Amino acid sequence: MMMNLNADAMRWAMDRVRPTAKLDAQTLVEQTLRQHGLMPDGRFGSPAGTKTYPSAPATSRKRYTCAAGSREYVLHMPEGPANGVLMMLHGCTQTPDDFATGTDIVKTATQTGMIVVLPAQSRGDNAQSCWNWFSGTDQKRERGEPAILASLAGEIATKNNVPKGRTFVAGLSAGGAMAVILGQTYGDVFTAVGVHSGLPYGCARGVNEAFAAMGGNGSRPSQTKTATVIPTIVFHGTADHTVAPANGSRIINDVLDSASGQQTQIVNNGTEGGKAFNQTITLSDNGTPLTEHWEISGLGHAWSGGNPNGSYTDANGPDASAEMLRFFKAISQNEV
């Protein structure tokens, strides 16, 4: 059963969840409303038009090797103790450095104690440096790219004593599609997923099916129904002509279809950075976040609120990086 609410119904929605979960759920909603000027405390980030782009902290470049293969990666460490791991997966033709610049996520994440790891897809494994989300071999546990990436994230978390439930993955386009795969195949490693302009799990097997799915004409049903429901935040532009917006909706629906119990939806509409948006939050029957879907009017195939010094970014619109970090924080609080 689904209940649909608007922002004015927040108090009623909070009364529908168990008292033990009420604080975290209310915090999630209040932060969202505050960002859109519906509460008096200000908002995340800098006011529109004044956003700055600080330099990322020092990095280290390494290569990780396991039984499934190897990949290079860039690692950003916080100055103090680590309390989380965030894996960021770039899109096609991008590099880890380009992606870090465009999302502008590293400094904010590391300041809150997160380790940020950016794996690199090699030209030898894909001519356009795309993660192979459309390959059947790379859609399964203990095989291919999912095995490499999950093993890398798990090892970093273990070596740095990161608490359980605080390892996350996010990506753009092909990286977003691979982030979905990691959530589906390694729910024991990744606690939540962030997807920008990505595709649902198992929607293609092969190049022809991949192009059809990207165009919104995929015929292969998503393959979900895993034992663990992975909280997921999705950003997608309505003017994305590379990956059709319908894919973002399918990612959200797959998560919600896998969840049991009553779900509560809270819908917010507004404008930020010159772009209108529709934001739909879905809470589980105990008030914890299940999904968050941001549909950005007029946004193309680009990271919303990104740094124009990186590729595939749009400086206008809601700050996808800040919102993903806020979502991950809410999830990690529920894991304590």
Query: So where are the chain's domains?
Result: 60-258+300-335
Q: Read off the pLDDT of residues 223-265 as tens digits, 9 standing for 90 and up.
A: 555 667 999 999 999 999 999 999 999 999 999 999 989 999 9
* Residues 90-95, mean pLDDT to the nearest whole number: 97
**Domain spanning 60-258+300-335: CATH superfamily:** Alpha/Beta hydrolase fold, catalytic domain (3.40.50.1820)
Q: Does the structure show a pLDDT above 50 at 304? A: yes
Label residue 333 by pLDDT band (50, 70, 90): confident
Q: Does the structure show a pLDDT above 90 at 67? A: yes
Q: Measure the CA–CA gap between 257 and 225, rounded to whole angstroms.
A: 8
In contact, 88 and 136? CB cutoff 8 Å: no
In contact, 106 and 76? CB cutoff 8 Å: yes
Scanning the chain, the segments in alpha helix (DSSP H) are: 10-14, 19-35, 96-103, 106-111, 144-159, 174-185, 207-214, 246-258, 320-335
The residue behind tokens 């992975």 is: 230
* Residues 81-108, mean pLDDT to the nearest whole number: 96
Q: Does the structure show a pLDDT above 50 at 53? A: no
Q: Measure the CA–CA gap between 245 and 234, rounded to whole angstroms.
A: 10
* Residues 96-122, mean pLDDT to the nearest whole number: 96
DSSP-derived pairing of the beta strands 192-196 and 167-172: parallel
Task: Specify the pTM.
Answer: 0.84
Q: How far is CA 237 from CA 196, 202, 268, in A?
A: 9, 22, 16
Q: CA nearest 184: which of 148, 223, 220, 134?
A: 223
pLDDT of residue 230: 96
Angle between helix axes 320-335 and 19-35 (nearest 10 degrees) is 170
Which residues have CB under 8 Å from 157's CB, separation 6+? 85, 115, 166, 167, 189
The share of the chain scoring above pLDDT 70, in percent, equals 79
The residue behind tokens 């001519």 is: 127
Q: Does the structure show a pLDDT above 60 at 195? A: yes
Report the range of poorest mean pLDDT among 62-71, 185-194, 220-229. Answer: 220-229
Label residue 286 by pLDDT band (50, 70, 90): confident
Q: CA nearest 233: which of 304, 134, 152, 285?
A: 304
Tell me what the pLDDT averaged over the chain comes to. Answer: 85
Report the range of poorest mean pLDDT among 18-32, 93-107, 126-140, 141-155. Answer: 18-32
DSSP-derived pairing of the beta strands 289-296 and 232-237: parallel
Q: Measure the CA–CA gap between 68 and 274, rounded to whole angstroms.
A: 45
Q: Does the structure show a pLDDT above 80 at 271? A: yes
Q: Measure the CA–CA gap between 271 and 250, rounded to whole angstroms.
A: 24
Q: Does the structure show a pLDDT above 60 at 84? A: yes
The residue behind tokens 């914890």 is: 288
Q: Measure the CA–CA gap between 239 and 186, rounded to whole angstroms.
A: 32
* Residues 52-57, mean pLDDT to the nearest whole number: 46
Which residues have CB under 8 Å from 213's CB, separation 6+? 134, 199, 203, 204, 220, 247
**Structure tokens belonging to residue 144:** 């291919």
Q: Measure the CA–CA gap between 244 and 313, rounded to whole angstroms.
A: 17
Q: Read off the pLDDT of residues 117-159 as tens digits, 9 standing for 90 and up.
A: 999 998 999 999 999 999 999 999 999 999 999 999 999 999 9
DSSP string, 125-155: T-TT----TT-GGGGSTTSHHHHHHHHHHHH
